[in-house]
Amino acid sequence: MTPTLTKTLRGTLRSVPGALSLVVLAIITAAALLAPVLGLPDPAEMEFALYQPPSAEHWLGTDNFGRDIFARVVWGARVALMVAIGAALLSILIGSVLGAVAGYFGGWVDGLLSRVFDIFLLIPTFFLILLIVALFGASLPLTIIAIALTTWPRSARLMRSQVLTLKSRVYVQAALAAGAPHWLVILRHVIPNGIAPIITDGTILMGMAILTEAGLSFLGLGDQNLVSWGGMIFEGQRHLRLAPWMSIAPGVALLLLVASLNLLGDSITFAMNPQLRTRGGAPKKRPTVAPPANEPAATTDTPILEVEDLRLVYSVGARRIAAVDGVSFTLRRGEALGIVGESGCGKSSLGSALLQTMPNNAALTGGTIRYDGRAIVLDGKGVVEKGRARIDALRWTRIATIFQSAMNALNPVTTVRRQMTDALRLHRPGITRAEATARIGEVFGLIGIPRSRMNAYPHQLSGGMRQRAMIALSLILEPELVIADEPTTALDMLIQDQILGEIADLRARLNLSLILVSHDMGAVAESCDVVAVMYAGRIVEIAPTRQIFDNPAHPYTRTLIGALPSLTGPLEELESLPATDSAAVAAAQGCRFAHACPAATDLCRAKVPPAVPLGDGHISECHYATSFAAEPREVRA
């Protein structure tokens, strides 16, 4: 808890609004606490000239009874903070306990309490507070209680959902097993662990409480014996023309305090989940370059895709992470290349670089990509011809992708047919509705989806069907190259096999070129001609499929193959792969794999291994590649 707390605090302080709001809060709190000893005039004493505008003597002027407004604003901070703290604490107390009880016991208790929470959502709470205060006499304690009584369901809902996730935790179960009574478990284990988000919400609750009290006071229902900002505005309203300063100062104070609380809550939330602030966004403008002067015309021998020394760097805060760190390969027309590696090795980043769909915090820092002999990316910059990026001309008509997890890769609110029609219309503007439907039907037939499912929404399809729909979408414009990024990850084994089989089959029938990105050697083995193994941002070994399975020339490849899961083998072995921190590895000297390599030597740790050609397009980046290649793989039992 404590390290998270300091981290959160540091994160909060680092953001400008967060730091600013803490400063404002500190000033207001100090003013409120020190009000009696600041040497201010008595805020209730009617001793000065009436309606004095702000001056050196009365910084904020005087009011209709000749009271010093600055003194009243300072004293008003006490009421605001009392309301904020009192109402928030009480509300959280009631809410946490009831929410914990509801979540903890479940069943009818939960049903009943949840119903009550719902009803409170439906009652215009401000009016209820207004009614209570108007009926029972306006006083600060009553106002605080009324606010708490109407806002507790907010904390209760939060606590309930926290408890639902907490109650299955080991320590809770352990405490119960040890015979602790329910209430003790709730108090000792459940509430303290679920309170963090509720406390964050508390800052917002405090802001709400202050505004509610101010609203009541403004309607003439504030505590009559205390100075409150809302009450000052209530009085000021009647003298707006004569003495506008009477209403201005307390309003500014209210705004500052409430805004600080809200900004603080906001900053804490962001400090706890930093990605919330920067995720998403539109693609940013990237550096471009004109096409090279003398590009040789493509011939039938020209590879469909050439990648040379490609580099992609992520910026996370101040850190730079080289996710793709000098990758080169060539894909011939009709060929299938598998790119394999564990998660975090940079294979998906490579995929996004090929399509130029990288997230905004990723940038190409170097390298060239050529499609059909024409450069799309030159020295890390997108090639623009006649005002249009070359890649844009290729999208979907020449290069298409199949994304992992089709559930999220298809737009959930439009039908499959609509999505495909849109893609068709975009690239073939003249196409009629009937033609589009015919084409979709054709592709569906190709993939083996019943035409009747055309009008389904993605969520109405089974996992396998959905993935097939994604494939259909990728094929709708008859591309030459398909980049499939983990197309089967989310599916169960049987369907995985089916889909991979279908992809392989389609490739053959449509003469597609294919790049299959996967963490699964098995998947790649079945469908690819060439396999590239990626580790920490580099292709450490590339070879024709047979070759790489028979003569793996890199110890990492060997580990992968050793861990190759078969339908009979234990799945857990996947987890036995050494974890990699790309950044740490890239920063180290020598071979990237050295730290985890069973055969590493001092040479490995000192010197970056060269790319060792082993013939037949087999290349391995290992000091001992030749000796590994000579030594056939041991087959596990």
Which residues ranging from 117 to 176 are in contact with other proteins (CB under 8 A)? 119, 121-127, 130-132, 134-137
Q: Strand pairing partners for 381?
A: 378
Rounded to whole angstroms, the Cα distance separating 548 from 521 reads 11
H/E element, 134: helix 125-136
Q: Does 38 bind other proteins (CB under 8 A)?
A: no
Q: State the amino acid at position 392 in one-letter form.
A: D
**CB of 191 or CB of 233, closer to other proteins:** 233
Name which of residues 595 to 614 contact other proteins (CB under 8 A): none
Q: Strand pairing partners for 395?
A: 399
**CB of 65 or CB of 183, closer to other proteins:** 65
Backbone phi and psi for residue 607, each to the nearest 5 degrees, phi listed first: -130, 135
**CB of 283 or CB of 613, closer to other proteins:** 283
Q: Does 50 bind other proteins (CB under 8 A)?
A: yes
CB of 411 to other proteins, least distance (A): 5
Name which of residues 75 to 114 contact other proteins (CB under 8 A): none
Work out which of 41, 54, 251, 334 binds other proteins, going by CB under 8 A. Answer: 251
- Dihedral angle over CA of 71, 76, 81, 87, nearest 10: 160
Binning the chain into helix, strand and coil, the percentages to the nearest 5 are 55, 15, 30
CB of 64 to other proteins, least distance (A): 6
Work out which of 423, 500, 540, 542 binds other proteins, going by CB under 8 A. Answer: 423
Work out which of 239, 332, 428, 605 binds other proteins, going by CB under 8 A. Answer: 239
Work out which of 69, 211, 516, 561 binds other proteins, going by CB under 8 A. Answer: 211
With CB under 8 A as the contact rule, which of the stretches 27-35, 77-85, 103-111, 212-220 interacts with other proteins? 212-220
Rounded to whole angstroms, the Cα distance separating 77 from 36 reads 12
Rounded to whole angstroms, the Cα distance separating 173 from 45 reads 61
Name which of residues 272 to 291 contact other proteins (CB under 8 A): 276-283
With CB under 8 A as the contact rule, which of the stretches 1-9, 180-188, 237-245, 550-558 interacts with other proteins? 237-245
Q: Does 224 bind other proteins (CB under 8 A)?
A: yes
Rounded to whole angstroms, the Cα distance separating 2 from 618 reads 52
CB of 306 to other proteins, least distance (A): 20
Name every residue whose Cβ is closer than 8 Å to that of residue 36 and which is 6 or more positions away in sequence: none
How far is the CA of 611 from the CAs of 5, 294, 584, in angstroms?
A: 47, 30, 22
**CB of 161 or CB of 278, closer to other proteins:** 278
Q: Does 255 bind other proteins (CB under 8 A)?
A: yes
Within 13 A of 389's CA, how many CA atoms are on the CB side? 16
With CB under 8 A as the contact rule, which of the stretches 163-171, 235-243, 522-530, 599-607 interacts with other proteins? 235-243
Assess contact for 514 and 537: CB atoms under 8 A: no
Instruction: Annotate each residue in 463-502 with x if it binds other proteins (CB under 8 A) or - if it does not, as one string.
Output: ----------x-----------------------------
Nearest to 309 by CA among 373, 377, 374, 248: 377
**CB of 194 or CB of 207, closer to other proteins:** 207
Rounded to whole angstroms, the Cα distance separating 37 from 27 reads 15
Q: What is the number of other CB atoms lying within 10 angstroms of the CB of residue 113? A: 20
**CB of 21 or CB of 557, closer to other proteins:** 21
With CB under 8 A as the contact rule, which of the stretches 78-86, 162-170, 215-223, 516-524 interacts with other proteins? 215-223
Name which of residues 7 to 26 contact other proteins (CB under 8 A): 15-17
Work out which of 100, 147, 158, 258 binds other proteins, going by CB under 8 A. Answer: 258
- Tokens found for residue 41: 């005039």
How far is the CA of 515 from the CAs of 111, 298, 373, 504, 532, in angstroms?
A: 52, 21, 18, 11, 10
Q: What is the number of other CB atoms lying within 10 angstroms of the CB of residue 37? A: 7
**CB of 141 or CB of 613, closer to other proteins:** 141
Backbone phi and psi for residue 319, each to the nearest 5 degrees, phi listed first: -85, 150
Rounded to whole angstroms, the Cα distance separating 143 from 90 reads 12
Q: How far is CA 261 from the centre of its chain?
A: 25
**CB of 251 or CB of 448, closer to other proteins:** 251
Work out which of 48, 75, 117, 218 binds other proteins, going by CB under 8 A. Answer: 218
CB of 8 to other proteins, least distance (A): 18
Name which of residues 444 to 463 contact other proteins (CB under 8 A): 457, 459-460
CB of 494 to other proteins, least distance (A): 24
Name which of residues 382 to 411 contact other proteins (CB under 8 A): 392, 395-396, 400-401, 403-405, 408-411
As to burial, measured by CB atoms within 10 angstroms (0-12 exposed, 13-18 middle, 19+ buried), residue 235 is: buried
CB of 388 to other proteins, least distance (A): 11
Strand runs labelled E in 419-464: none
With CB under 8 A as the contact rule, which of the stretches 88-96, 211-219, 372-380, 521-529 interacts with other proteins? 211-219
CB of 373 to other proteins, least distance (A): 21
With CB under 8 A as the contact rule, which of the stretches 77-85, 115-123, 529-537, 627-635 interacts with other proteins? 115-123
Give the DSSP per-residue string, 150-172. HHHHHHHHHHHHHHHHHTTSHHH
Assess contact for 139 and 231: CB atoms under 8 A: no
